[in-house]
Amino acid sequence: MSTDAIVLLKNDHKEIRKLFKQFQSAGENAVQRKGEIVKEIIEALTVHTYIENEVMYPEVRKLLPDLEDDVLESYEEHHVADVLCAELHAMEPDDEHFVAKTTVLIENVTHHVEEEEQEWFPKVRDGLTRKQLQDIGARMIEVRDKAPRTPAQPSALKKAIDAVTA
């Protein structure tokens, strides 16, 4: 199996797009079903974001400093998606904000994924060797096992824990 980093990330993107389509084609009244799909979306995005943030982006930034601005923009786009995922994770599917929030999440992530695939990956592919991309991919497979599956704890809770353990 190829460990090419771009191939691995594109496979993730394909899965994520599939989940988005499932959400969009679920019926108007499929509240519970939509809730289940959103859980899967949150898990897929949490894992994918983790491996990009932990491995892909820092490695590319180090090896191809010219692409630094793209990497910094990606961190911000991920951050927006993280906030929406954390809010959705804490929300019941029958909340009046649930569908609207998911729709905005899907729009944002679709935009980000298109930029990666159409603009960023080709530049990375040009700048790195096959071996470099395979090494990055192998590292991503390793890190994937310890990736979180759900969004980080709400910051209020985290602050309380930090205060106790400080």
Residues 103-142, one symbol each (x = binds Fe ion by CB under 5 A, - = not), give -------------x--------------------------
Q: Record the tokens describing residue 38, joined without a space.
A: 């959103």
For the bound state, the minimum distance from the C-beta of residue 13 to Fe ion, rounded and expressed in Å, comes to 6
Interacting span for Fe ion (CB under 5 A) from 48-56, 96-104, 120-128, 129-137: 48-56
Q: Cα 145 to the chain's mean position, in Å?
A: 15
Among 26, 34, 38, 52, binds Fe ion (CB under 5 A): 52
CA atoms within 13 A on the CB side of 11: 12
Query: Does the footprint of Fe ion cover residue 70 (CB under 5 A)?
Result: no
What 3-state DSSP class applies to 166? coil
For the bound state, the minimum distance from the C-beta of residue 34 to Fe ion, rounded and expressed in Å, comes to 23
Reference 126, options 82, 71, 60; nearest CA is 60
∠ CA 88-94-98, nearest 5°, is: 35
Binding positions for Fe ion, rule: CB under 5 A: 52, 116
